[in-house]
Structure 1
């Protein structure tokens, strides 16, 4: 996060007041695997080890249970280069999917060459959530108190690991909703943490890309505070991923049973 920046607050009645406001930091983060430039993400430059560990799962280069590779970040005048070396089989997957791209988030689609690649079959979610509706509402009520970066800046998304009782166990934040979820998945990998009958709670809409990330991480249920797209609902049903969307303090929508 950068230092406070000066603004002028303009009220509806015309009153103008000078204020200081903290801003969320957003920088280019170049991901380089085995010496190959793979992607450039616009991200909050924190928890980069987690970001890479989650991104590799989202890109289907690694699986959740694979050993986590060390990440070496290098600051440059223009941003950050995060370097990691993959094992032989993972390097083969890397070469199969390698592309040079610049994207505004780890969306999983930027640079893909055809529709068939974008709509690759998803595995079936094996994990099951034991959380009831009350647990979800409990987590929703607690989420804002866990969004420390967003509380200071108003510009960050959160992704949370929630247990079956509705207790938030782990949170990651980023200016990008996709990056936040990758950071959470990566943090879980690095900590050896499982879903343990819980679910993922995201402070964003439910997009196709977030559904894919959840499925590849074997997340047992995905909860988002905003609406889903039609494709997100269809892909979640295909993979057997339960959704709870438009999840607000007073109500939420449950996806049709897979």
Structure 2
């Protein structure tokens, strides 16, 4: 199915604008040139005809985004609970029409959440404090070596074509246990990039227990929670982790790494190895 934003097409997520280039710090000369900018458009997520969320999103890989968002937000528990998914153009943006099971729709209505998404916000529209920090499932962390983290980090830039062209997008990568990048998704929003990756993995039957996610942003509470909610056992971030992210990683027993830079990274939480591994490792 070919739909707007339904496949990974970098050109569909870009726009060209004329800009004035200024040089120097004391009223230096300027000239005009074209610059490539990342698109950011409103995307409505509509479940069985009921609009649930409007997110500001880069209009590429939207089917994967909608599926990943549905999984990471607990709207559905498994991809098979989404019966149909279609992306279409609306007057003021795009809409993803999802058909989910009647049981999951009833649960969604019971939550009475109406999210208004923004690039840097993952909790907009939450109606009560009790909804802000949801229970987090426990995961199984892979035995991840330092070399694998560094290997993945060294590859990340070459897998981010939108970032190379615009300097305005985040990336979320899925890496195997050796640190080889298998899959990358990009978006102006860090949460959106991770949701796109989660959706892409779900379509491929993953994630697998032995891999890990690498993100080009900080590790916030939401990024940890989204990872754990779909069984990702290790999250590596280019920037820092927040205190709540570390607390949630400990609660989930998720391996959390931050400030991943060439030659160094910080391990905020490393789950204890099982007794059998400690005895024979």
State whether TM-score is above 0.5: yes
**2:62 is the counterpart of 1:48:** yes
Shift of 1:72: 1.4
Corresponding residue for 1:121? 135
CA spacing shift, 1:128–1:21, aligned 2, 3 Å = same
Corresponding residue for 1:254? 267
Provide Cα deviations, 1:14-48, integer angstroms capped at 9, x if missing partner: 24232211110110001110111100000011111
Determine the C-alpha separation between the residues in 2 that align with 1:150 and 1:207: 21
Shift of 1:2: 3.4
Corresponding residue for 1:203? 216
CA spacing shift, 1:51–1:106, aligned 2, 3 Å = farther
> Is residue 82–residue 98 contact of structure 2 (8 Å, CA) maintained in 1?
no
* RMSD over equivalenced CA pairs, Å: 1.7
Determine the C-alpha separation between the residues in 1 that align with 2:170 and 2:181: 15
Determine the C-alpha separation between the residues in 1 that align with 2:164 and 2:117: 26
Provide Cα deviations, 1:95-152, integer angstroms capped at 9, x if missing partner: 1223333221495422222222212221111x33133110110000000000011111
Determine the C-alpha separation between the residues in 2 that align with 1:187 and 1:129: 20
Unaligned runs of 5+ in 1: none
- Equivalent positions of 1:185-224 (< 5 A) are 185-224=198-237
> Is residue 129–residue 198 contact of structure 1 (8 Å, CA) maintained in 2?
yes
Shift of 1:70: 2.5
Determine the C-alpha separation between the residues in 1 that align with 2:215 and 2:237: 5
CA spacing shift, 1:206–1:178, aligned 2, 3 Å = same
> Is residue 222–residue 241 contact of structure 1 (8 Å, CA) maintained in 2?
yes
> Is residue 131–residue 163 contact of structure 1 (8 Å, CA) maintained in 2?
no
Of Structure 1 and Structure 2, the greater strand share is in: 2
**2:158 is the counterpart of 1:151:** no
**2:145 is the counterpart of 1:100:** no
* 2:247 aligns with one of 209, 230, 234: 234
3-state SS in 1 of match to 2:31: strand
> Is residue 49–residue 70 contact of structure 1 (8 Å, CA) maintained in 2?
no
Which piece of structure 1 moves more, 160-169 or 194-203?
194-203
Shift of 1:68: 4.3
3-state SS in 1 of match to 2:75: coil
Determine the C-alpha separation between the residues in 1 that align with 2:86 and 2:80: 19
Aligned length: 257
Determine the C-alpha separation between the residues in 2 that align with 1:69 and 1:173: 25
Unaligned runs of 5+ in 2: 1-12, 272-281
**2:46 is the counterpart of 1:32:** yes
* 1:173 aligns with one of 163, 186, 196: 186
Determine the C-alpha separation between the residues in 2 that align with 1:107 and 1:90: 25
* 1:130 aligns with one of 136, 143, 151: 143
Corresponding residue for 2:195? 182
**2:72 is the counterpart of 1:58:** yes
Corresponding residue for 1:20? 34
Provide Cα deviations, 1:137-187, integer angstroms capped at 9, x if missing partner: 000000000001111111110000000011000000001000000000000
